[in-house]
Structure 1
Amino acid sequence: MTLVRRLLDQAARTPGAVALVAGDGAELTYGELRRQVLAVRHGLLANGLEPGDGMLFSVRPSPESLVLALGVVAAGGVVVFADPGAGSEMFEARLRLARPRWSAAESLLYAASRLRVVRAYAKRRGLLLPKLADLPMRHLYVGRWLPGVPRGALSFGALVQGEPPEAEAYGDPDAPAAVIFTSGTTANPRAVVHTQSSLAAALDLFQERLPLGPGAVVHTDQLMLGLPTLISGARWSMPPLFCSPADFARQLRERGATHTFCVPVHLAEVLDEEPELPESLRYLLLGAAPAPAGVLRRALAAAPGAEVLSVYAMTEILPVAIASAREKFTHTGTGADGDLLGRPLPGVGISIAQDGELLLSGPNLCSGYLGDEPLKELPTGDLARLDEQGRLVLVGRKKDMLIRGKFNLYPGLYEPAIAALDGVTEAAIVGLPDPETGDEEVVLAVVGAPDAPADLAERLHRRLPDVIDHDALPDRIIVLPDLPRSGRGRKLDRGRLRELARGGNA
């Protein structure tokens, strides 16, 4: 049974129950959610969407974006998350790889991408908007019509009207359903391909560890926690698009949240505003980055009646393991090395390579990377071991991966592209971790060419958004006469470079 079919069957069983509460408090029942998904499916098929068609998706988390994404997949299409703010060259490289036939965006984004003054403002804020309306594909807009929406574009509002016919099938469970660009350069963009089957397996694993069902209220903007919420018959509470830490804490209390998810650095900000979380909270999940001990202690103090859980997952395979805060503290209290990730979830295959790298497999593993051969086992880049209880322990990062919010930054993916720029002969990226939040300051160190301009760092700040992922852009750039090296092979000494970066100020 496909993921979409499971959700729609649940909706048919409890049509009058509230499925979604939007950021502004508007409610959507399970019956209306089901009707809208089927209406979008029917409307897309009637307008020519064919199995396997990619839909470039530029709609922020909302009930409308959920309905649209489910409707696309139910019709046999593929949702392509390419991030229009990634920079024009990166965006175009991703389009060349994914080759979507459709584009869905908020009407405001279509309009803004055509207005020069808005594009200039967005560029100053580090967001380079592509001209979505000029893309040679079918267009669909969400929201009221605005100048700049392409002529002939379909209206999401029109699609969800009327009573759609019932359907027998909701897409091929083993065909691509979602393409998620995660990293890469303009020369080599990288995208994870998930099927309905791999996503359904991931949702089952969340439900295995995280009790959900009628009466639960899950406050999150994370699709991979929201979907199991809906499949279980619980209520998904969405925060507003631009939600301050204080508003997030307030909504947890006002909506009677029983479950929530935060990135560690975000939770720290929430607790700065509200040191006591509501008594209704039973599960507090932390993920997308390692959870430092300081954040875990604050979480336990803020929600003494809740189970605080740290989720280990990757875009390619999620979730992998879940450990409670108390388990993690017990582990470190024994003097054991590494970060306890927890026991692998049922069905997740674990193996450790000779060099200590963690390799993963299982039904929740993506089908592969777009344009590459199918993936049977995932090399994570993480160094890990299994303890005597069969639990995963993270001991390091094979590729010096950096953590920034929800983004995993692999320096080796970006350094060659930066070093190839005019005025640069060498480039290296290092992170300076914040022990309180677990986030990292990203520092780019470059060696200038003999004819490099004196303002090389400033020029690079302006140039890099067109070259690398937006989330990989450095917080600081320092210019050095040479990169520090060590050993007979004169390999880059990243430890010494971090020391130099702490004293840099560019």
Structure 2
Amino acid sequence: MLTELIDGLRPGDPRPALPGATRGELAELVRGYAVALAHLDPGDTIALAVRPGPRSLATLLAAYHLGLRVAVLDPTAGPDVLRARLALAAPRLVLADAAAQAVAGWAARLARRAHLALPELGAIAPVRTIGRRLPGSPPALRPLPGRLPRPYEGEGDSVIVFTSGTTTRPRAVVHTRRSISAGMTAVRDLVRPEPDVPVVGGTFFVLLPSLASGAPVAFPSRRSLARQLRELRPQATYLTPPQVRNALAAGTRFTGRVYSGSAPVSAALLRSVRRSGASEAWGVYALTEVFPAAAVEESEKSAFTGEGDLVGRLLPGVTARVSPDASAVAGAAAAAASGELLLGGPTAADRYLGEEPFEWVATGDIGRVLDDRSVVLGGRAKDMILRRAENIYPGLYEPSLHVPGVELALLVGVPAGDGDERVVAVVQKADGATEREVRAALREPLARMGSARPDEVVFDRIPLAGRSRKPDRRATAALAARR
């Protein structure tokens, strides 16, 4: 699909592509950045810290055209986590816009208040500036004139997306050219975008299939989504559940089809979307490792009366089984058994960076697969906390909580309603330490946790379990909920 999109962009095409660029202007940017990056070899890694927009999209498409691998930088993860992640990815080049450079440099202290932070980028690899260059910034990577280089036609890695792990052993999902294209084809077939009618969505997995189908894309407005949807009347809108809830609270009226994912989507939320004007309201089940996996429309989800959360039918090509019962394969009558849900298929990532390829992707979700290929979830098996549609992995941040005066510390999630959670740090003081002293010592580590910063810090003894007397996360989460 990405090759089709690049080939379909024509210089001079006046039709809108996304805010700030026509399809013709996007074509020129893709060609120019491909020429500028042509000195790199297929398989080389570039790290990308550029805000969503025409230039970040053009850079991504140019990298795909050349067979390069893109490591996506998330400035909300905190500088310590990002430094470890970049050491694992080992990019040959870092591409950053002025905002990312400010977060890593002169505006770092101010940015941390907004939970944004990047390590000093120049210490990792050579840096080039994308877009507007400020005084003192690294040299600009400017789109260069010339013919579009020959496309890379082989297979290989395409995108690195960092997820869980620890600061000493970060974990990154590696999608190949094949899995990225398959995932975007699955989104296109689900969303069914028509040419020249707007689509509203903020992720590349929504943006690229829409553009490939000839539909212009607008990023969801942070200030006035209701007004944006009223003026654009999009054929399809993709929002996270928190964005949907905020939109409904503001009295937003929807048009066309609405899709929501990245966090649990309740039947009640989808019904509210339908009542607010949407012709269809879909919940999408997806992971970083498998995007997308399943989808369900409001009418089917509302009609489900069984136990658990119906997240929909597996999309074409996606396969599933339940561990440890290897016989519970999607489509088989035995697939009603519950256990950890394992997924596979063309939209699945290849591996975690530095590890062996997946046989199956372990979702960390407890679930079962019905004989019509429908997936029903019954909670999470892994430690991940889900807040405002963002995955927070405790193991990444808990080591930083063990400052002098702290004997033990855990990050746990406390239900906040409709699938969302609050993040709570439960801290067990060492003998002789005071709460005031520990809070003072935690001030800087908490500031460096970025968007994972806990909503509350609770001081209490952490429950232990098992022969090894390991911290009991479930009991600690229950303790935090009571507190």
TM-score, normalising length: structure 2? 0.90
* 1:37 and 2:30 matched: yes
1:247-266 paired onto structure 2 within 5 Å: 247-266=224-243
Residue 427 of structure 1, CA deviation: 2.3
- Aligned partner of 2:247 in structure 1 is 270
Distance across 1 between alignment mates of 2:99 and 2:302:
47
Distance across 1 between alignment mates of 2:401 and 2:416:
27
Distance across 2 between alignment mates of 1:414 and 1:433:
20
* 1:362 and 2:345 matched: yes
SS in structure 2 at match of 1:147: coil
Structure 1 residues 390 and 120: alpha-carbon distance in aligned structure 2, compared to 1, 3 A threshold: closer
- Which one of the candidate residues 329, 332, 337 is aligned to 2:307? 337
Amino acid at match of 2:150: E
Asked if the contact 1:431/1:498 (under 8 Å) is kept, the reply is: yes
Structure 1 residues 414 and 122: alpha-carbon distance in aligned structure 2, compared to 1, 3 A threshold: closer
Structure 1 residues 121 and 145: alpha-carbon distance in aligned structure 2, compared to 1, 3 A threshold: same
- Aligned partner of 1:94 in structure 2 is 85
SS in structure 2 at match of 1:32: helix
Amino acid at match of 2:240: V
Amino acid at match of 1:472: A
In the comparison of the two structures, how many residue pairs are matched?
469
Distance across 2 between alignment mates of 1:401 and 1:113:
27
Cα deviation, 1:248-296, whole Å, max 9, x if unaligned, reads 221122122111111111111111112422xxx2210000000134422
- Aligned partner of 1:21 in structure 2 is 18
1:424-503 paired onto structure 2 within 5 Å: 424-436=406-418, 438-455=419-436, 456-464=438-446, 466=448, 470-480=450-460, 482-485=461-464, 492=471, 494=473, 496-503=475-482
Cα deviation, 1:29-48, whole Å, max 9, x if unaligned, reads 2x332232122101211xx3
* 1:307 and 2:307 matched: no
1:374-385 paired onto structure 2 within 5 Å: 374-385=357-368
Asked if the contact 1:262/1:286 (under 8 Å) is kept, the reply is: yes
SS in structure 1 at match of 2:249: helix
Distance across 1 between alignment mates of 2:457 and 2:213:
47
- Aligned partner of 2:112 in structure 1 is 123
Structure 1 residues 380 and 488: alpha-carbon distance in aligned structure 2, compared to 1, 3 A threshold: same
Cα deviation, 1:386-427, whole Å, max 9, x if unaligned, reads 224331100121124321123223445554x25654332222
SS in structure 2 at match of 1:55: strand
Cα deviation, 1:334-393, whole Å, max 9, x if unaligned, reads 3x1000011111111111113701011111111111111122210111111122433110
Cα deviation, 1:49-107, whole Å, max 9, x if unaligned, reads 22222211110111111011111222222211132443222121112101111111112
Amino acid at match of 2:445: R
Q: Percent identity?
A: 35
Structure 1 residues 21 and 82: alpha-carbon distance in aligned structure 2, compared to 1, 3 A threshold: closer
Cα deviation, 1:204-236, whole Å, max 9, x if unaligned, reads 111222212313321111110111111112222
- Which one of the candidate residues 154, 176, 197 is aligned to 1:216? 197
- Which one of the candidate residues 264, 269, 286 is aligned to 2:260? 286
Structure 1 residues 269 and 181: alpha-carbon distance in aligned structure 2, compared to 1, 3 A threshold: same
TM-score, normalising length: structure 1? 0.86
* 1:322 and 2:295 matched: yes
- Which one of the candidate residues 34, 47, 65 is aligned to 1:74? 65
- Aligned partner of 1:62 in structure 2 is 53
Structure 2: give runs of 5+ residues left out of the alignment.
325-337
Residue 15 of structure 1, CA deviation: 6.4
Amino acid at match of 1:450: D
Distance across 2 between alignment mates of 1:215 and 1:126:
37
Distance across 1 between alignment mates of 2:100 and 2:379:
40
Residue 448 of structure 1, CA deviation: 1.4
Residue 124 of structure 1, CA deviation: 3.2
Asked if the contact 2:103/2:117 (under 8 Å) is kept, the reply is: no
Residue 495 of structure 1, CA deviation: 5.1
Asked if the contact 1:55/1:101 (under 8 Å) is kept, the reply is: yes
Structure 1 residues 499 and 381: alpha-carbon distance in aligned structure 2, compared to 1, 3 A threshold: closer
SS in structure 2 at match of 1:207: helix
- Aligned partner of 2:181 in structure 1 is 200
Distance across 1 between alignment mates of 2:15 and 2:152:
23
- Aligned partner of 2:164 in structure 1 is 183
Residue 179 of structure 1, CA deviation: 0.8
- Aligned partner of 1:138 in structure 2 is 126
Residue 194 of structure 1, CA deviation: 1.0
Q: Comparing 316-325 with 120-129, which one deviates more in the overlay?
A: 120-129
Asked if the contact 2:366/2:380 (under 8 Å) is kept, the reply is: yes
Asked if the contact 2:46/2:68 (under 8 Å) is kept, the reply is: yes
Amino acid at match of 1:271: L
Distance across 2 between alignment mates of 1:418 and 1:137:
26
Asked if the contact 1:445/1:479 (under 8 Å) is kept, the reply is: yes
* 1:225 and 2:216 matched: no
* 1:107 and 2:113 matched: no
